[in-house]
Amino acid sequence: MPELPEVEITRLGLEPLINFKVSEVVIRNSSLRWPVNKSLQKILVGMKLINLKRRGKYILAEFPKGTLIIHLGMSGHLCIVSKDREIKKHDHVDIVFDNVEHKIVRYNDPRRFGCILWTDEDPLDHKLIKHLGPEPLTNDFDGDYLFRKLTKKTVSIKNAIMNSHVVVGVGNIYASEALFHAKIRPQRESHKVSMDEITNLVSAIKGTIENAILKGGSSINNFLDVNGKNGYFQNEHQVYGRKDKPCILCKNPIQQITLGQRSSFYCKNCQK
């Protein structure tokens, strides 16, 4: 699943389309996680894209009369293509922009767990968004905040920081990596993690996500940016996907366990 860095990279890649008008919307398959509004052609044509924001893993494409709320789901991605680009099997939705090159934003999603929703109200009040926790790269997410949230929780620390009501966008890859940098085992109960450790973890989360954005995200499975290019942060993974390979610090083999039905990776020597 694309995580926060991959979604942010997608948002940044779409920014050149700001201030261009929509000339056409093509819906080949409206059956995503929630049905795509079949009136999008009527709604969007002639309107200018005025801004692109992100909230958690949601891209918010703002137009004068409303907002498209886009989530990439498990396997979705947005790409910018030309009109002569061959249509592939899972190309479900096109939004054509009336710019010099008539560029198309094309949504491809083999598993169809993503969504493209239209709202004419404040998107931050939408039921999918309004209860989300703070953004990890903002000042609202700090050691004091996270310690207060976790001080009475018995859930594992990894599952806690992957809870979008606690903090948004910390998915499986970046939770594993941040916990390694903070030297905390993923299976530790949250309330047993000290204030100092929590402060270190917050710094590790911020640093890991910032570095991942800088490096174009992690191209594991099928993530590509809007221009069809791979990220390369996966080349810097310290623990994720490295079962039985030597820890970069102590050379002991990386362990793999399952937490909350997700694979977790850690070093039993470096992480306590």
Is 208:173 a contact under the CB 8 Å cutoff?
Answer: no
pLDDT at 100: 60
Is 98:22 a contact under the CB 8 Å cutoff?
Answer: yes
Helix axes 195-214, 4-14, angle to 10 degrees: 40
- Rg (C-alpha) for the chain, rounded Å, is 20
pLDDT at 214: 84
Q: Could you confirm whether 262 is annotated as catalytic?
A: yes
Is 112:73 a contact under the CB 8 Å cutoff?
Answer: yes
Question: Which residues pair with residue 115 across a beta bridge?
Answer: 71
Task: State the chain's maximal CA–CA distance in angstroms.
Answer: 60
Burial class (CB in 10 A: 0-12, 13-18, 19+), 191: middle
Length of the chain: 272
- According to DSSP, residue 158 is labeled H
> What is the identity of the amino acid at 32?
L
Choice among 55, 57, 103, 242 that is catalytic = 57
Q: Could you confirm whether 251 is annotated as catalytic?
A: no
> What is the identity of the amino acid at 226?
V
Measured distance CA(115)–CA(123) in Å, rounded: 14
Please, what are the domains in the chain? 4-125 (3.20.190.10), 143-266 (1.10.8.50)
Choice among 3, 6, 8, 177 that is catalytic = 3
Q: Could you confirm whether 11 is annotated as catalytic?
A: no
Choice among 2, 123, 136, 186 that is catalytic = 2
Measured distance CA(162)–CA(175) in Å, rounded: 7
Q: Tokens 């109200």 label which residue?
A: 121
- pTM for this model (two decimals): 0.91
Choice among 21, 206, 262, 268 that is catalytic = 262
CA dihedral 120, 17, 214, 220 (to 10 degrees): 80
- Residuewise pLDDT in 10s, the chain (272 residues): 688 888 999 999 999 999 999 999 999 999 999 999 999 999 999 999 999 999 999 999 999 999 999 999 988 999 999 888 899 999 999 999 987 677 899 999 999 999 999 999 999 999 999 999 999 999 999 999 999 999 999 999 999 999 999 999 999 999 999 999 999 999 999 999 999 999 999 999 999 999 989 887 765 555 666 876 666 566 778 999 999 999 999 999 999 999 988 999 999 999 99
Q: Could you confirm whether 110 is annotated as catalytic?
A: no
